[in-house]
Homo-oligomer: A and B are copies of this chain.
Amino acid sequence: MENAKHVSKAVISRLPRYYRTLRQLANEGVGRISSKDLAAQMDLTASQIRQDLSCFGGFGQQGYGYSVDKLIVELERILGVAGSQRAILLGVGNLGRALLRNFDFSFCGVRPIAAFDTAAEVIGRDFRGIPVHALHDLELFCERERPDIAVLCVPADQAQLVSERLVRCGVRGIWNFSNVSLRQDHLGVPVENVHFSDSLMKLCYHMKATDPFEFGE
Contact between A207 and B78, CB atoms less than 8 A apart: no
Residue in B12, B105, B190, B196 whose CB lies within 8 Å of A207: B190
**Residue picked from A20, A93, A94, A174, most chain B C-beta under 10 Å:** A94
**Residue picked from A20, A104, A184, most chain B C-beta under 10 Å:** A20
Residue in B78, B184, B202 whose CB lies within 8 Å of A16: B202
Contact between A80 and B20, CB atoms less than 8 A apart: no
Contact stretch, chosen from A29-37, A106-114, A131-139, A157-165: A106-114
Contact between B98 and A201, CB atoms less than 8 A apart: no
Q: Which residue of B lies closest to A196 (CB)?
A: B103
A89, chain B: closest CB distance, angstroms: 12
How many copies of this chain sit in the oligomeric assembly? Answer: 2
Residues facing B in A88-126 (CB within 8 A) are 93-95, 97-99, 101-105, 107-110
Contact between B93 and A198, CB atoms less than 8 A apart: no
Q: Produce 1/0 per residue, A65-102, CB < 8 A to B.
A: 00000000000001111000100000001110111011
Residues facing B in A147-174 (CB within 8 A) are 148-149, 172-174
Contact between A202 and B110, CB atoms less than 8 A apart: no
What is the size, in residues, of chain A's interface with B at 8 Å between Cβ atoms?
65
A140 within 8 A of B: no
A12/B202 contact (C-beta < 8 A), A149-B207, A197-B108 known = yes
A144 within 8 A of B: no
Binding site for B on A (CB under 8 A): 1, 4-5, 10, 12-13, 15-17, 19-20, 24, 78-81, 85, 93-95, 97-99, 101-105, 107-110, 148-149, 172-175, 179, 181, 184, 189-192, 194-211, 214, 217
